[in-house]
Amino acid sequence: MVVVELAVVLAAIVLGARLGGIGIGYAGGAGVLVLGLLGVSPGTAPFDVISIIMAVIAAIAAMQVAGGMDHLVHLADRLLRRRPQQITYYAPLVTYGMTLMAGTGHTAFSTLPVISEVAKENGVRPSRPLSIAVVASQVAITASPVSAAVIFVAAVLEPFGVDYLQVLAVSIPSTLLAVVLASLVTNRLGKDLADDDEYQARLARGEITFRPQTEYVARPGARRSVVIFLVGIVAVMSYATAVSENVGLIADPALARNEAILVIMLTVATVITVTCGVSTPKILEMSTFRSGMSACVCVLGVAWLGDTFVQHNLETIQSVSGGALDAQPWLLAVVLFFASALLYSQAATASALMPAALALGVSPLTAVASFAAVSALFVLPTYPTLLAAVELDDTGSTKIGKLVFNHPFIVPGTLTIVLAVLLGFAVGSVVL
């Protein structure tokens, strides 16, 4: 029966990967139903995590309606144009920072056109900054205080003595430093535009266009919404620090950490809506709101399916796989890497595999250090931000090869994740 149940889980994951997006959650829920019909008691659905994701996304979407996202893009534009020759180093920091703050890699969509244009205007091969910028926007999910993936991993690690702040204390420096180091290598990949035959041919045919810059006019309340949201993030992290058992500033808090995140984020959304003239119906139309609600369904279905299977077969799984992971803990990062390439979601990958890994006896250090490996969304060249980067670059430097895997994102992405995992072990051995 274990084999049959595992086949059901794998079939649900494969179906979800084929459906894509929210379909991963749908298939996960269907898998729980099939396991239930086979006599398996349903596991625990992660409603606490989902409620936090909903509250955070509500605040982010309100900020987007107020023009806060556009304002952040404007600031990014100014930064990149200030040092255009170093765009391969600055572009990933911009996309990393925006994802870190917003908790979604889709913020990169708004900055990729700027990155492409600035690079092209200054003779920099666009594939260099575009590739590492896309990768940075993906790996930053595992370091964002408000991302679904971080919230879920922190929740499952809490019973093992690792709290939310410790996860961030490892993931932020390890992923950020990995992005910086990978950008140094990425800046040497491919020919310079001046030596690129395809670019020169396109330029001679008049196929290269340079878009004129437009003057940015901030919407009323745009800057205010960004400040309010940043204050909310600081409040969340400050409260999490105060109630942490490792800090102990508040011994008996009236609100637990998760409940505090909920009320703070909903309050942030309320203040932005009231003070920035936000129309609440428009919030439901925002791209951040749609992607966030999709993440909720993905986490619900996949995490529920994984917990159902693992809890029912815990002893068997431990006897079969526990020894291998105990002897070679880095295998967890490899498994997360390839799983995320198929699932296309950091939250869905973490939800599906992290609880199982911890149940097998994987140490909290290994789990936290390997967390960055759930960001291998660049392996298959079909992820939306990756495709957007390819479409935006009319120089021909950012293209997908005939062998599918020979594209400009594979080297920067793989290097970034390998460095992030290695640095995660190094930083985690000190923090945890």
Could you give the CA distance from residue 285 to residue 128 in angstroms, rounded to a whole number? 33
3-class SS at 366? helix
Secondary structure letter of residue 55 according to DSSP: H
Say how many CA atoms lie within 13 Å of 67 toward its Cβ: 15
Residue with tokens 């670059």: 393
CA dihedral 10, 296, 331, 2 (to 10 degrees): -30
Could you give the CA distance from residue 169 to residue 287 in angstroms, rounded to a whole number? 29
Work out the number of other CB atoms within 10 angstroms of the CB of residue 256: 11
pLDDT at residue 192, as a whole number? 84
Residue with tokens 């008996």: 252
> CB of 379 within 8 A of CB of 400?
no
> CB of 357 within 8 A of CB of 305?
no
**Rounded alpha-carbon distances, angstroms, from residue 275 to 101, 221, 268:** 21, 7, 11
pLDDT at residue 16, as a whole number? 81
In terms of C-beta density within 10 A (0-12 exposed, 13-18 middle, 19 or more buried), how is residue 1 classed?
exposed
pLDDT at residue 114, as a whole number? 84
Element (H, E) at 108: helix 108-121
Could you give the CA distance from residue 375 to residue 249 in angstroms, rounded to a whole number? 34
What sign does the CA torsion over 12, 369, 258, 54 have? negative
> CB of 128 within 8 A of CB of 190?
yes
Could you give the CA distance from residue 13 to residue 18 in angstroms, rounded to a whole number? 9
pTM of the model: 0.79
Q: Which two tokens stand for residue 323?
A: 């020894």
Q: Which two tokens stand for residue 87?
A: 């765009």
pLDDT, block means (10 residues), the chain with 432 residues: 84 80 85 92 82 85 88 83 88 90 76 85 89 93 87 88 90 96 93 82 78 74 91 85 72 80 91 92 86 80 81 71 70 87 79 82 91 89 78 81 79 95 94 85
What b/e sequence results for 129-161 when a residue is b if at least 16 CB atoms lie within 10 Å of its CB, and e otherwise? bbbbbbbbbbbbbbbbbbbbbbbbbbbbbbeee
Q: What is the largest CA-CA distance in the chain?
A: 71
Residue at 27: amino acid letter = A
pLDDT at residue 426, as a whole number? 95
Question: How many domains, in total, are found in the chain?
Answer: 1
Range of the domain at 238: 1-429
3-class SS at 418? helix
Say how many CA atoms lie within 13 Å of 105 toward its Cβ: 27
